[in-house]
Amino acid sequence: MPVNFAHRGASGYCPENTMAAFTKALELGATGIETDVQMTADGRLVLIHDESVRRTTGFDALVKDLTFEELRKLDAGVWFSEEFAGETIPSLEELLALAKSANIIVNIELKNGLIPYPDLERKVIETVRAYGLSDQVVLSSFNHYSLAVCKQLAPDIDTGILYMEGLYRPWDYAATLGANALHPIKYAVLKEWVLEAAAAGIACNPFTVNAPDEMKRMLEAGVSGIITDYPDRLAALLKTLT
């Protein structure tokens, strides 16, 4: 059964990358959670998509310039709805604890394309290992050099190549990085490519797929997982296929 990855949690219903969104995702049938990891000024791993906290907290600062204590004082929920006032930016540890108890897959995107967080790969891997979740984690990034570092440090942890264009024979490219999966934007998915990738032992987990007809197309193409803001829609569709 394809993995139902909730994109930044159930971000269609809750403020993205919050514990509320992650918990809601499980309630809606997600079997995986996709999130983004960055690093605070004092080296803590936190889950937020943007390099700046402005969009989701209203405070104009970069994640890298705030300590963990400063960042935790920010409200990351009220921008979405008053219902979520007081939600904080979570640590990676909080999500991994949830993943361990719920026995789900976690896709951790390393957000080190614009800001080169020092030693991010090692710190993420050490944290994953501390929770005993090496076999339940996929490390992805648009920074493919970072993925190469991840494989050097932890050959046993799966990696996924994020990309936005129609790469030529991306399964061959994946092999050069030792990557286990392709994470293409949904427009760069064709059934023939998914089949070719599968034949090469490479999974395909497209993003961000929200419309049921698009989900159906991806499933018919044979993808291994789907990254969506609405895990309930995908869960309902998957039930019709069993």
The tens digit of pLDDT for each residue in 25-55 reads 999 999 999 999 999 999 999 999 999 999 9
The tens digit of pLDDT for each residue in 49-63 reads 999 999 999 999 999
Half-sphere exposure of 147 toward its Cβ, with a 13 Å CA cutoff?
Answer: 26
Please compute the mean of the pLDDT values over residues 70-78 and round it to a whole number.
98
pTM of the model: 0.98
Q: CA 33: distance to chain centroid? A: 6
Q: Has residue 72 got a pLDDT over 90?
A: yes
Q: Has residue 177 got a pLDDT over 90?
A: yes
Q: Has residue 8 got a pLDDT over 80?
A: yes
166 pLDDT band (50/70/90 cuts)? confident
Please compute the mean of the pLDDT values over residues 175-194 and round it to a whole number.
97
242 pLDDT band (50/70/90 cuts)? confident
**Could you give the CA distance from residue 65 to residue 73 in angstroms, rounded to a whole number?**
14
Bridge partners, 225 (sequence order): 3
Rg of the chain over all Cα atoms, to the nearest angstrom = 17
Give the relative orientation of helices 144-153 and 120-130 as an angle to the nearest 10 degrees: 50
* CB contact burial 48-58 (16+ within 10 A = b; e otherwise): bbbbebeebbe
Give yes or no for a contact between 228 and 238, defined as CB atoms under 8 angstroms apart.
Answer: no
> What are the two backbone dihedrals, phi and then psi, of residue 5, each rounded to the nearest 5 degrees?
-85, 120
Q: How many helices (H) and strands (E) does the chain have?
A: 10, 9
pLDDT of the residue at 35: 99
CATH number for the domain whose boundaries are 3-51+90-241: 3.20.20.190
Q: What percent of the chain has pLDDT over 70?
A: 100
Boundaries of every domain in the chain: 3-51+90-241
Task: Show which residues are catalytic.
Answer: 7, 49
pLDDT of the residue at 189: 96
pLDDT of the residue at 56: 98
58 Rama class: left (phi>0) / alpha (psi -120 to 50) / beta: left
**Could you give the CA distance from residue 130 to residue 116 in angstroms, rounded to a whole number?**
24
111 pLDDT band (50/70/90 cuts)? very high
